[in-house]
Structure 1
Amino acid sequence: MEVQFEKIKSNSLEKGYIQVYTGNGKGKTTAAIGLAVRAAGAGLRVFFAQFIKGMLYSEIEALERFSELITVRQYGRGCFIDKNPGQEDIEAAHHGLEDIEMIIKFEEYDVIILDEANVAVQCNLITADELLELINEKPFGTELIITGRYARKEILAVADLITEMREVKHYYQNGIQARAGIEK
């Protein structure tokens, strides 16, 4: 699906900041989704880009209900966390980078969320330098949220807000699988 771009940004943000949600605990994507819904409630336009993920999750179905203000694009073929990414995974991530570069250029959105971008860097789908280039191109009035464990120190250095989710206890350790509506 080809993304269409036009300059229609509503931007009511005086200044946009860079937020990073990282750590090995649950809740990074969920926090970003909460921010997306809050922004949409305030009339802001949101672009939600998911790296790595390419399957239909409950969160994607929920965000699609806000399609007037929240645009969701997935730049992955599936979740391969336990496997090595293939060339198609790398190409999907780079397609996402190209789309996001255009979105930044046309200043169409008030909030841009790069879900699992830190993991995409860790898995060598994109480089930290490519992610930093996107960060540096961010328009002044655009909020940028980057999620995923393994946030690199150079990404953290440019962030205005960093939230680290830390796992203290998780029922996965007792064999409980991801549940629809709760973890997926």
Structure 2
Amino acid sequence: MTSTNPEEPVDDSPRHPKAPRPKQRTPGPYPVPPKNRRTGLVIVNTGTGKGKTTAALGVLLRARGRGMKVAMLQFIKSADTDRGEHVGARELGVEIVPMGAGFTWLSESIEEDRKLARKCWARCTEVLHSDEHDVVIFDELTYALSYGWLTHDEVFSALDERPDGTHVVITGRNATDELVEYADLVTEMKEIKHPYRTEGLSAQPGIDL
């Protein structure tokens, strides 16, 4: 099915020659958003499969191609390793800020974890509310919510108070039901096959890091 609307997904899957063609959906009319509806989206990439951060980096690339300003902050990844995306983003004029040095979410001190999470979130909120970015990416933020180090109220309040038009991308496994309900767009990555499990292959430069 070929859509006349460039924003609609196109179904190019093969069909048997004698199979009846599905009815083409008539575009619109679409519901009118409420007047208080933000123009900026909250996007969540979650699931157990690979590609959550990779998809967010695709948004970063596309936004920069449109001349938009992008910030990306990473909750768990350490600053000790200069990953491929860090180098590539700098060439696009985007600084990716890893804030996870020594932060594994698995320490024996829940209170210490909570303090570290709040310190990270304070930096995230500062960037989000600065009105200097069109797209803000919070990589691995879902863990802070699913482990209870941050509350939904404080995260949602910060998102509600962001400058209008600012898009936010949140990544990580185990997105909570509350976050899924709050977001505008949610995609779940599902693992079908992974070379580490089938062949014991380690992370590949340029693909995984």
TM-score (norm 2): 0.72
- Which one has more relative contact order, counting CA pairs under 8 Å at least 6 apart? 1
Q: Distance in 2 between matches of 1:92 and 1:42?
A: 35
- Whether 2:207 is the aligned partner of 1:182: answer yes
- The answer for the alignment partner of 2:133 in structure 1 is 109
**Which runs of 5 or more structure 1 residues have no equivalent in the other structure?**
1-13
Aligned residues between the structures:
168
- The answer for the alignment partner of 1:23 in structure 2 is 47
- Whether 2:146 is the aligned partner of 1:126: answer no
**Which runs of 5 or more structure 2 residues have no equivalent in the other structure?**
1-37
Backbone CA RMSD of aligned residues: 2.2
**CA deviation string 1:74-96 (max 9, x = no partner):** 12115737x44766654443222
Which structure's residues are more often helix, by fraction?
1
Per mean C-alpha deviation after superposition, the further-off stretch among 151-160 and 119-128 is 119-128
Whether the 8 Å contact between 1:138 and 1:144 is mirrored in structure 2 is no
**CA deviation string 1:51-91 (max 9, x = no partner):** 11114222112112122xx232112115737x447666544
SS at match of 2:136: strand
- Whether 2:146 is the aligned partner of 1:144: answer no
Whether the 8 Å contact between 1:52 and 1:89 is mirrored in structure 2 is no
The structural deviation recorded for 1:151 is 0.4
Q: Distance in 1 between matches of 2:108 and 2:157?
A: 23
Q: Distance in 2 between matches of 1:74 and 1:92?
A: 13
TM-score (norm 1): 0.81
Per mean C-alpha deviation after superposition, the further-off stretch among 130-139 and 39-48 is 130-139
- Tell me which structure has the larger Cα radius of gyration: 2
SS at match of 2:157: helix
Whether the 8 Å contact between 2:86 and 2:95 is mirrored in structure 1 is no
**CA deviation string 1:27-68 (max 9, x = no partner):** 00000001001101111000101011114222112112122x
